[in-house]
Every structure is written in structure tokens, then in C-alpha cells.
A and B are shown apart, each in its own frame.
Chain A
């Protein structure tokens, strides 16, 4: 597609449930990034995929968070046993190879009630 597509755009879930957030990067972009922005807080890095290299998972806040990227394209961020502090906007971005500016998706607003 023309841009980075994220789904759903909004998700309300009950505490303790699992959620999956999807990111469809720009076709051909080998680098894919997940960030999150909590209410009133700045952006923080979660995970980064670059081609076939092992992902940089150093930003994942706990082992309840995981992400995969299938076939070098679509990525799914999974949060297990959601907590209220997981409420945030989760943003995905992609880049041709990591050495050029990123294109951001419009984000998934996650609310844990």
C-alpha cells in the first residue's frame, strides 16, 4: 500500500485479556519498528526488525509483550494478560532499510479497562 497501515485503530479490552495489534508496512521496506506513546508521556521504543536479522527486543517492557514479523512483511505485536498500564497508542513505522526516514502508521489506541 501507499502507507503504513495499522489495525485496529482503536481497541478496548478487559484487564487480563490478550490483544494482537497488526502493522502492514510499506511494500519493500525491510525495517519495521514498534513504539508506544502513553497518555501524557513521550514516545518509547519497543522492538525493531531489520531484514532477516534477529529483532532488537530491548524495549519490550515485560515478557507479556512479544512481536513477530512474518515473511518480512506484516508484523503482529501481542500483549498477553493486559494491564491498565498497557493503555497507550501503539505506533508502527517502516523504513526502506533503516538508513532513511521512517514512515509512521496512524497507530492503534489501546485502552485496558
Chain B
């Protein structure tokens, strides 16, 4: 069964800083998810990626399938980016919905 580790657990940044959140997993997969959970609890799917890099606005996600590692980057961070960021991988490989979730990284961006 896949094990998903995220780091750091908590991250405080100043507005404008470049943010990196890391995720590693133990079992080979075909796709990894990055989610954002706002303080109110709502969850938004940011990325589902299987190779290389994806970009959406100021968010960039990369994955290295061979090293079983993914990173989420936020450029020019803003207080509205404050949230918990969660990575998730299929529990038994593949791309099914049986996801194992990381414990999340709580990001706080100060103005």
C-alpha cells in the first residue's frame, strides 16, 4: 500500500515569496493529485499529473515518476494562497480513486 509523505507540515511566508511544498510516495503510480483546502473546509482539485510539469496561473506542479516525488510551487505568493495543500496518490498504484492522502501542508502567507 502506498505511503504518502509531505513536507513541510507548516509553512509561513511573506507575500511575494516563492513557495515549494514536497510530496513523496512509496509505490509507483500513474497519476498524483494536488488539492487545496481552504480554511472554511472546501476542497479544490489543483492538479492531476502523471509526468513532467503542469502550470495554472501562479501554481506549478512537477512530478518525477522515477524518484516517486512531486513538488507544488507557488510563485509571487499572496495572502489568499493561505490554505492547506494536500497531495494524494492511488493506494495501490494506477490512477484509481482509492487515494492515500498526505497529512497536508498548512501555508500561511503574511502581507
Docked pose: A59 CA to B88 CA in angstroms: 15
Q: Is the CB of A98 within 8 A of B45?
A: no
One of B11-19, B21-29, B65-73, B100-108 at the interface: B100-108
Tally A-B pairs: CB < 8 A.
61
Chain A residue with minimal CB distance to B100?
A45
Interface size, chain B (Cβ < 8 Å): 24
Interface size on A, residues (CB 8 A): 25
Hey, which chain A residues are within 8 Å of B102, CB to CB? Answer: 42
Spell out B's residues near A (CB within 8 Å).
Answer: 31, 33, 35, 41-48, 86, 88, 91, 95-104
11 CB contacts below 8 A, A to B, read: A33-B97, A43-B99, A45-B100, A48-B96, A58-B91, A89-B41, A100-B48, A102-B45, A104-B44, A106-B42, A107-B41
